Amino acid sequence: MLVNTWIEQHMNPELVNRMKQTIRARRKRHFNAEHQHTRKKSIDLEFVVWQRLAGLAQRRGKTLSETIVQLIEDAEHKEKYASKMSSLKHDLQVLLGKE
């Protein structure tokens, strides 16, 4: 293990640990990229948006991704509800002859 010997002799122990963490993270990202359900994407957020999203996620005890999914689902349910109410209102107006 010539490389390990060189690392022990020439690198700061804190940097050795950081290097190992970086290698593990890189391997994990590589493995995760091989599977559709574990692939990660990154997005750019303005700081204020990230701050609000992070606060909401923390209050809900969820990850940022889980919080975003939940917000999208909430918006989709709201759209469906609004559409259903609009349809019911229209049908009621037709029944009452107020079209």
* Cα 71 to Cα 34, 55, 59, 66, 87, distances in angstroms: 28, 14, 14, 9, 24
Q: For residue range 46-91, list pLDDT tens digits in order.
A: 999 999 999 999 999 999 999 999 999 999 999 999 999 999 999 9
Residue 34, pLDDT > 80, answer: no
What pLDDT score does 35 carry? 75
For residue 97 the two structure tokens come to 């002859």
Return the C-alpha torsion angle 84, 85, 87, 88, nearest 10: 120
Residue type, 20: K
Answer yes or no: are the C-beta atoms of 42 and 52 closer than 8 Å.
Answer: no
Question: CB under 8 Å to 32, separation ≥6 — which residues?
Answer: 38, 39, 40
Q: How far apart are CA 27 and CA 89, in angstroms?
A: 56
